[in-house]
Amino acid sequence: MEHEGVCGAVLTERLEKAISIAREVGAFVLEHVHSIRHIEAKSSPIDVVTEVDKEAQARIVEELHRFFPEDTIWGEESGEPLEDFSHTWVIDPIDGTSNYIHGLPFYAVSIAYFLGGTPVLGVLYAPALQELFWALRGEGAFLNGKRIAVSQTTLLHEAIVVTGFPHTRRRFEVLAPIYGYILGECQALRSFGSAALGLAYVACGRCEGYLQLGVSFYDVAAGVCLVEEAGGVVRELSGRPWSYVSRSLCASNGHIDLTAIVRQVLPEEVVATLR
């Protein structure tokens, strides 16, 4: 296994360290779940960050810099994204901060490693659930040490579809017809409040699909690697290939094509804007 001239041993070393860091930071996050003192709004009053997010990111960055000083590191709390994501760590210290603040268990530490703009390594640790997901490009995806795979469900009425509800009214109105269609056709439509875990649940076969408009790539970087290594498919809502610059995401088990539903339900001119 080799990616961009990087041998498998180098990636395996990074995977092992990412797993160790995710566990350590996850334990810190869980320890402080009932002692949050300060909450700040970021892009909107419902897009929030706590002092625990900031400290968790600082700990991840410190450890990655210590072991891999030549690598670039970018995190949710880092500001504007980079233009080049090669040999780059992408981290989200707590994906699902609102859940974390309210004591809900659906949040995770997310760490991904990019080569050539593609996530080749993904680690997700949900400390409140004691679930560790990881994937390495070409080596498969795993949950608590056991190999996982997407479900074999082919029928929408037997499927659970997950979404991340948009933070803006405009984006919600764009997706409302899709939500209406899916609610009438699938077994259930769910939102866990964590894109990372939503994708992880597709990867391990608990759910069949995930869709979101207005996605932040640091939320989904590790999850994309998980889904693809578990045998699933990740696209933009329009059906175009997903990349780190995409602002929409549609993941599935590969047997149910949610992008086809998007193209069926929405006008062509709207679909064309769903990047």
- Binding-site members for Mg(2+) are 76, 92, 94-95, 219
Neighbour order of strands in the sheet with 108-115: 72-75, 88-95, 108-115, 118-126, 131-136, 140-143, 146-148
- The span from the CA of 66 to the CA of 62, in Å, is 6
Q: 151: which 2 tokens? A: 């479900």
Known binding-site residue numbers? 76, 92, 94-95, 219
Biggest CA pair distance of the chain? 51
- For residues 152 and 155, give the distance between their C-alpha atoms in angstroms, rounded to a whole number: 9
Q: Could you say which DSSP state residue 249 is in? A: E
The residues near 251 (Cβ < 8 Å, ≥ 6 apart) are: 199, 202, 209, 210, 211, 223, 224, 227, 232, 233, 234, 235
What's the rounded Cα separation, in Å, for the pair 135 and 61? 20
What tokens appear for 92 in the block? 């989200």
Closest by CA to 94, choosing from 196, 245, 226, 229, is 196
Residue 148: which H helix or E strand, with range?
A: strand 146-148
Q: Which of 189, 252, 253, 199 is nearest to 221 (CA)?
A: 199
Residue 171 CA, chain-centre distance (Å), reads 19
AA identity, residue 259: T
